[in-house]
């Protein structure tokens, strides 16, 4: 029978090499913290206990992960990875198997860790890498048995050439681990209690030490500086993109997708280059997402087209809708089937009925727009009086002329027509034309400063325009 599992996650370090005010394990990877990624992996192993050792920025680290069912252990001073594990050990019974994970090794999968949970000996996860710099090296004796791990800073030239490295992750039975850790010394280049020295301790006792090679070295990359964080992000994104494509999503440029959440999608949905999908995104069948679109917590129903550089947050886009380019759908936007929102249109808490249109340069906020209503270019719902927000209700088949302001609260009746340039401050009747517009006058012969007068120009008086004049 397998021993109960206690996972210890090391997350107390400052991450000096990040040169950031944020504790290292709070750095984001694909929109979540490094530590959240490791916690998810740990919990997937169904452990009996999870201990997170924190120290640097402990309050922020704990607060950011309050929803996780784990025990937080404080390491008041960061005296090394061995000391960090020692802080958690008093709460772990001898009959448990301890798995040590690092808060800065975020890509490892439960599948890769599973073999470490078996057996009653010390097992470490190793990797063979082209560029071993920065990692502890595995030192084997003549028979091939692992004797020790030597940290980069303590290694001689020959040891540095070794390409078999320690991933920082290991598992051991709690009883012997306690003994090995109690015997650690800080007599090394960094003056720290290295967890890695338990390997030499076990080996000296003649205890079995097993090194498991991670089949995919990309899974065990450690994040110690900004370059490694960016590298880990890319690896995570590549993995996510491949999973989506395997499930049938068409990615025009998989290397240029950024996913910070989950996407569900129907058949023949396609996403163009440089899109950012965040939170929970649902794409129906045949949906097309144009280049550079940003979608956060959105539902896009079958056959809808999102044109390039659209930004949509908490919006629901109905079947066959067309949005953008350069549209901004804010929270509470709901577009019914076949609605159309064009370029430089911002919507917020707005419901557009089936086939309704706002094609150019508009603000539609706190508004309900009936079926097939047409909002002309530059239609503005004036929803805010400086203190409160008010609603605009537009009836089905209404036609709102260009450059109209609708001063809320206000209602526009069904099939109403609003003349271009009208400022609507009272409810507009159904089936009628509402227009309010000051007449334009023409002043003949008026001299614009800086414009050379046309020769022969004599008129200097004002002529009233003929009724229905084109100058209006």
Chain contacts with ligand UD1 (rule: CB under 6 A): 10-13, 24, 53, 75, 78-81, 83-84, 102-105, 135-136, 149, 151, 165-168, 194-196, 222, 224
Residue whose CB is less far from ligand UD1, 224 or 343? 224
Q: For Cα atoms 359, 365, 367, give the angle at the middle one, nearest 5 degrees.
A: 90
Q: DSSP for 218-261?
A: GGG----SHHHHHHHHHHHHHHHHHHHHHTT-EESSGGG-EEEE
8 membership: H or E segment, kind and range? strand 5-11
- Omega prior to 409 cis, within 30 of 0: yes
Question: What is the DSSP code (8-state) at residue 443?
Answer: B
Give whichever of 153 and 426 is closer to ligand UD1, judged by the CB atom. 153
| 114: three-class secondary structure by DSSP | helix
Residue 336 phi, psi dihedral angles, 5° rounding = -80, 170
Widest CA span in the chain: 112
Closer to Mg ion at the Cβ: 221 or 321? 221
CB 177, min distance to ligand UD1, A: 14
Give 403: exposed, middle or buried? Use CB within 10 Å, 0-12, 13-18, 19+: middle
Least gap, CB of 222 to Mg ion (angstroms): 4
Which residue's CB is nearer to ligand UD1, number 106 or number 173?
A: 106
Question: Shortest distance, CB of residue 220 to ligand UD1, whole angstroms?
Answer: 7
- Beta-bridge partner residues of 213: 126
Shorter beta-carbon distance to ligand UD1: residue 167 or 359: 167
Q: Read off the tokens for 116.
A: 């470490």
End-to-end CA distance of the chain: 90
The entry of ligand UD1, Mg ion, none near residue 411 (CB within 5 to 8 angstroms by kind) is none
Beta bridge partners of 357: 340, 374
173 interacts with, out of Mg ion, ligand UD1, none, CB within 5 to 8 A per kind? none
CA dihedral 17, 23, 28, 29 (to 10 degrees): 60
Shortest spacing between CB 288 and ligand UD1, in angstroms: 42
Question: Closer CB to ligand UD1, residue 51 or residue 357?
Answer: 51
User: Tokens in use for 236?
Assistant: 């995570």
**Cβ(256)–Cβ(273) below 8 Å:** yes
Q: With CB cut-offs between 5 and 8 Å by kind, which of Mg ion, ligand UD1, none does residue 393 bind?
A: none
- Measure the CA–CA gap between 275 and 293, rounded to whole angstroms: 5
Asked whether the beta carbons of 360 and 344 are under 8 A apart, the reply is yes
364 binds, among ligand UD1, Mg ion, none (CB under 5 to 8 A by kind): none
Chain residue at closest Cβ approach to Mg ion: 222
**Residue 236 interacts with which of ligand UD1, Mg ion, none, CB < 5 to 8 Å by class:** none
Nearer Cβ to ligand UD1, position 86 or 300? 86
**Which DSSP letter does residue 413 get?**
-
Residues that bind Mg ion (CB under 5 A): 104, 222, 224
Task: Look at residue 167 and give the partner it binds from Mg ion, ligand UD1, none, a contact being a CB closer than 5 to 8 Å depending on partner kind.
Answer: ligand UD1
Nearest distance in Å: CB 379, ligand UD1: 54
Query: Active-site residue numbers?
Result: 360
Residue 165 contact among ligand UD1, Mg ion, none, beta carbon within 5 to 8 Å by kind? ligand UD1
């Amino acid at each position: 029978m397998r021993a109960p599992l206690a996972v210890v996650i090391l997350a107390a370090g400052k991450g000096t090499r990040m040169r950031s005010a944020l504790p290292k394990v709070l750095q984001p990877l694909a929109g979540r913290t490094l530590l959240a990624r490791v916690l998810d992996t740990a919990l997937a192993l169904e452990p009996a206990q999870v201990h997170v050792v924190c120290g640097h920025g402990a309050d922020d680290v704990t607060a950011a992960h309050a929803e996780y069912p784990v025990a937080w252990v404080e390491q008041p001073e960061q005296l090394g990875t061995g000391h960090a594990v020692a802080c958690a050990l008093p709460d772990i019974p001898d009959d448990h198997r301890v798995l040590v994970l690092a808060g800065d090794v975020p890509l490892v999968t439960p599948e890769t860790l599973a073999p470490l949970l078996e057996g009653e000996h010390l097992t470490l996860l190793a990797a063979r890498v082209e560029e071993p710099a920065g990692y502890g090296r595995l030192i084997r004796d003549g028979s091939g048995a692992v004797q020790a791990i030597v940290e980069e800073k303590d290694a001689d030239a020959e040891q540095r050439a070794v390409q078999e490295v320690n991933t920082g992750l290991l598992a051991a039975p709690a009883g012997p681990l306690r003994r090995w850790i109690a015997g650690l010394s800080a007599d090394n280049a960094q003056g720290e209690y290295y967890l890695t020295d338990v390997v030499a301790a076990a080996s000296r006792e003649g205890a079995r030490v097993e090194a498991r090679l991670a089949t995919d070295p990309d899974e065990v990359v450690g994040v110690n500086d900004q370059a490694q964080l960016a590298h880990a992000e890319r690896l995570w994104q590549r993995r996510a993109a491949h999973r989506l494509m395997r499930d049938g999503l068409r990615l025009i440029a998989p290397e240029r997708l950024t996913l910070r959440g989950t996407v569900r999608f129907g058949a023949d949905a396609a996403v163009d280059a440089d899109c950012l999908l965040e939170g929970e995104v649902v794409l129906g069948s045949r949906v097309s997402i144009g280049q550079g679109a940003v979608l956060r917590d959105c539902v896009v129903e079958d056959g809808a087209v999102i044109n390039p550089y659209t930004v949509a947050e908490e919006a629901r886009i109905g079947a066959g809708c067309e949005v953008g380019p350069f549209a901004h759908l804010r929270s509470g936007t709901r577009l019914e089937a076949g609605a159309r929102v064009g370029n430089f249109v911002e919507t917020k808490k707005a419901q557009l009925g089936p086939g309704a249109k706002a094609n150019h340069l508009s603000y539609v906020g706190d508004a309900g727009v009936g079926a097939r209503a047409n909002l002309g270019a530059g239609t503005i719902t004036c929803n805010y009086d400086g203190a409160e927000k008010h609603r605009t209700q537009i009836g089905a088949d209404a036609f709102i002329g260009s450059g109209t302001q609708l001063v809320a609260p206000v209602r526009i009746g069904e099939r109403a027509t609003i003349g271009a340039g009208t400022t609507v401050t009272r409810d507009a009747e159904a089936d009628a034309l509402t227009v309010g517009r000051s007449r334009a006058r023409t002043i003949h012969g008026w001299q614009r400063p800086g414009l050379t007068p046309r020769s022969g120009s004599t008129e200097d008086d004002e002529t009233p325009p003929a009724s229905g004049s084109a100058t209006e």
